[in-house]
């Protein structure tokens, strides 16, 4: 009986099992985090950008701000096209002070408003002799309930797809005149969780609205591929990218208490904004992609697309319907 009394109890074995399970989970999560860190692409190009004019939408925060910071260090003249002028001017002052580059210009642009897009484009066409790089970086995501733009278009789609589509058309003559020039479009691997419904290209009322972020990224890919095809031989290259899952302001609309686990995930496993900007910087500066167009990149390397994303006919139809939704006129530049 004395010997039996010294044997570990059932509770002891249960505690050891729980401890081992927790340790295993922690070790796995740390391994995943380490793997994500060491496999994240980094732009090692040292290309200088003196004399280059770069437009970056959404350059006031997140990966747009980090892109502006890096290109400012390379000597570029940067037009920060932003909806929030207060945060944009603060970002401009911060970057100018850090880099010593005083060629940063803030201009108002709300991609969710076709009026704002046209006003911004008119200003650029009138005052800028050239555009060397146009970076479509700005994006937004809603959580559950969607919103409608002043043009009657679902706001996520208006901001993430239709705004950039319209802006590209309005600036295309300047980009062609500036050749060789580049268009860089920030898409996302999240497109794989969505599809583009050609019968509902203004998806007002979709629930949850967060799904439309995925749809808009799919639309970005169709847009980029069709744009590259139409600009072949023009001297304007078009490439698009997945920046990675980023710890940035794009997730700020996730409501409480769902934002609590989201914050833990983003802080623990998502890329920093600096890491997330690397592929954008690579496509904007690297000499080795100067003659590459219509390709998808991830971690500074060319990547593959799903069969659905390669559907050229669907991409063409989306283009044609987008022309109608952004109300392009006979007087507007054609692509």
Q: Which pLDDT does position 16 carry in this prediction? A: 72
Domain residue ranges of the chain, discontinuous segments joined by +: 40-326
Note the pLDDT tens digit of each residue in 203-218: 999 988 989 999 999 9
Q: Which residue has the higher pLDDT, 54 or 2?
A: 54
CB 249 within 8 A of CB 276: no
Find the catalytic residue in 191, 211, 213, 282: 213
List beta partners, residue 183: 134, 238
Segment 230-252 shows an average pLDDT of 83
Spatial neighbors of 32 by CB under 8 A, at least 6 apart, are 269
Average pLDDT of the chain to the nearest whole number: 88
Over residues 132-154, the mean pLDDT reads 94
Q: Which residue would you say has higher pLDDT here, 68 or 264?
A: 68
CATH of the domain spanning 40-326:
3.40.50.720
How many Å apart are CA 245 and CA 80, to the nearest integer? 23
Find out whether the peptide bond into 31 is cis, omega within 30 degrees of 0: no
Reported in sequence order, the residue ranges of the chain that DSSP labels E, i.e. its strands, are 53-57, 77-82, 104-108, 133-136, 181-186, 236-242, 295-298, 301-302
Whether 213 is catalytic is yes
- Calculate the dihedral angle through the C-alpha atoms of 328, 165, 223, 70, rounding to the nearest 10 degrees: 160
Which pTM does this prediction carry?
Answer: 0.84
């Amino acid at each position: 009986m004395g010997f039996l009394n010294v044997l570990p109890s059932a509770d002891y074995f249960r505690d050891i099992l729980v401890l081992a399970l927790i340790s295993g989970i922690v070790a796995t999560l740390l391994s995943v985090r380490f793997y994500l860190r060491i496999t994240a692409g980094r732009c090692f190009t040292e290309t200088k950008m003196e004399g280059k004019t770069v437009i970056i939408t959404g350059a006031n925060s997140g990966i747009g701000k980090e892109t502006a910071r890096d290109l400012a260090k390379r000597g570029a003249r940067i037009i920060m096209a932003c909806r929030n002028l207060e945060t944009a001017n603060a970002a401009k002052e911060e970057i100018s002070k850090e880099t010593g580059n005083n060629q940063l210009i803030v201009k108002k642009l709300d991609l969710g408003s076709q009026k704002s897009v046209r006003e911004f484009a008119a200003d650029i066409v009138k005052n800028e002799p050239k555009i060397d790089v146009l970076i479509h970086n700005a994006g937004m995501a809603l959580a559950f309930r969607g919103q409608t733009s002043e043009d009657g278009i679902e706001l996520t789609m208006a901001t993430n797809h239709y705004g950039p589509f319209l802006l590209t058309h309005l600036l295309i003559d300047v980009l062609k005149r500036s050749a060789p020039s580049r268009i860089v479009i920030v898409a996302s691997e999240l497109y794989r969780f969505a599809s583009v419904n050609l019968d509902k290209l203004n998806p007002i009322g979709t629930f949850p609205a967060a799904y439309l972020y995925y749809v808009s990224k799919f639309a970005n890919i169709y847009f980029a591929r069709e744009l590259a095809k139409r600009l072949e031989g023009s001297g304007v290259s078009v490439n698009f990218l997945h920046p990675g899952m980023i710890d940035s302001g794009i997730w700020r609309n996730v409501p409480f208490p769902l934002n609590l686990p989201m914050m833990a995930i983003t802080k623990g496993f998502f890329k920093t904004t600096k890491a997330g900007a690397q592929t954008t910087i690579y496509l904007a500066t690297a000499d080795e992609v100067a003659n590459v167009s219509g390709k998808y990149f991830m971690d500074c390397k060319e990547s593959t697309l799903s069969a659905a994303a390669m559907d050229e006919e669907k991409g063409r139809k989306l283009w044609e319907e987008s022309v109608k939704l952004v109300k392009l006129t006979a007087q507007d530049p054609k692509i």
